[in-house]
A = this chain, B = another copy of it.
Amino acid sequence: MSQQHGHGAQARLAVSTVIFALSPDVDGDGVERPSLRIPLVRRLREPGAGRWALPGGWLPVDESLEAAAARTLHETTGLAPKYLEQLYTFGEPDRSPDERVVSVVYWALVHSDEVERAVADENVQWFDEDELPHLAFDHHEIIDYALWRLRTKLEYSGIAHALLGERFTMAELRGVHEAVLRKRLDPANFRRTMEASGTLVDTGERLAGTRHRPPALYRFDASRTPAAPPPTDAAAHDAAHASSASHDAAHAASASA
């Protein structure tokens, strides 16, 4: 029952992404606390023309959800995400004034290394996490949710490195945590916690040019990641690292009774 609606009266499927990156370190010496930044695009057509919105687009019939999110991200920022994960699917019937649109939303983390190359013109701008403009639709709620996810996940998972470059100091890594969690962390305890996680590798190199004692440079070792969740491969919610394809799996609607 209630199955055949014909292909005409369907909701349209969109994919959007909440992209996070760190503000460039002003001094380059790690003294300044970095802040979280999010790129938004200006809507050029109705509904919501002129307002800022999340980068996204309609889902092409032959493209996977994750691939669409990655493409969107690249088209907007010019960068490749180091981390990409499905966030939630928003689909209230009344969210878009004209037609029914269901949006599968992803969230992404981008290297600070490459942020300098980021696109930014009059229609694409990066906003500070706590200085967001008036947004189209309910994109503000979506971003709030993505921020909550990021903060929650940071506390039990080693994703902070995805916002840094290949090599980083312990202080830089701590700076990411402090910026995201919005609170100071004890350097001694932070170091021990990270070392205990076993996901960091001391490269042997040290960062010269600081005003004082040169800190060790670490890199993240993905192979040492704890245990990944059992489900659909990279399991979307609590695993892994972008790029790895096939988060998604098949399914088709089934008859009821």
Residues of A226-257 contacting chain B, CB below 8 A: 229-232, 235-238, 246, 248-257
Task: Select which of B56, B231, B236 is within 8 A of A144 by beta carbon.
Answer: B231
**Alpha-carbon distance between A75 and B2 when the two chains are bound, in angstroms:** 10
Q: Does A136 contact B (CB under 8 A)?
A: yes
Q: How far is the CA of A241 from the CA of B158 in the complex (A)?
A: 29
With A57-B3, A61-B10, A138-B250 given, is the CB distance from A236 to B88 under 8 Å? yes
Say how far A243's CB is from chain B's closest CB, in angstroms: 16
Partner of A96, one of B57, B59, B136, B250: B250
Q: Which of B3, B141, B230 contacts A231 (CB 8 A)?
A: B141
Q: Check: A157 CB closer than 8 A to any chain B CB.
A: no
Is A221 an interface residue when CB atoms closer than 8 A count as contact? no
Are B252 and A101 in contact, with the CB atoms below 8 A? yes
Stretch at the interface among A29-37, A62-70, A108-116, A168-176: A62-70
Closest B residue to A72 by CB, please name it: B256
Is there an interface contact between A123 and B231, defined as CB atoms closer than 8 Å?
A: no
Structural contact, A90 and B56, CB atoms closer than 8 A: no
Contact assessment for B251 and A55 in the assembled complex, using a CB-CB cutoff below 8 Å? no
Task: Return the contact of A76 from the options B13, B86, B92, B257 (Cβ within 8 A).
Answer: B257
Question: In the assembled complex, which residues on chain B have CB atoms less than 8 Å from the CB atom of A123?
Answer: 257
Interface residue? A79 (CB, 8 A): no
11 additional contacts, CB 8 Å, given A1-B75, A91-B248, A101-B252?
Answer: A4-B58, A5-B58, A10-B59, A47-B252, A57-B253, A75-B257, A76-B256, A95-B252, A101-B250, A136-B254, A138-B250
Q: Which A27-53 residues sit within 8 Å CB-CB of chain B?
A: 41, 43-45, 47-48, 53
Find the B residue at minimum CB distance from A53.
B254
B11–A61 touching, CB < 8 Å: yes
Q: Is A26 an interface residue (CB 8 A)?
A: no
In the assembled complex, the CB of A13 is this many whole angstroms from the nearest CB of chain B, namely 5
Interface: A93 (CB within 8 A) = yes
Indicate whether A254 sits within 8 Å of B104 (C-beta atoms), given known contacts A145-B232, A148-B231.
no
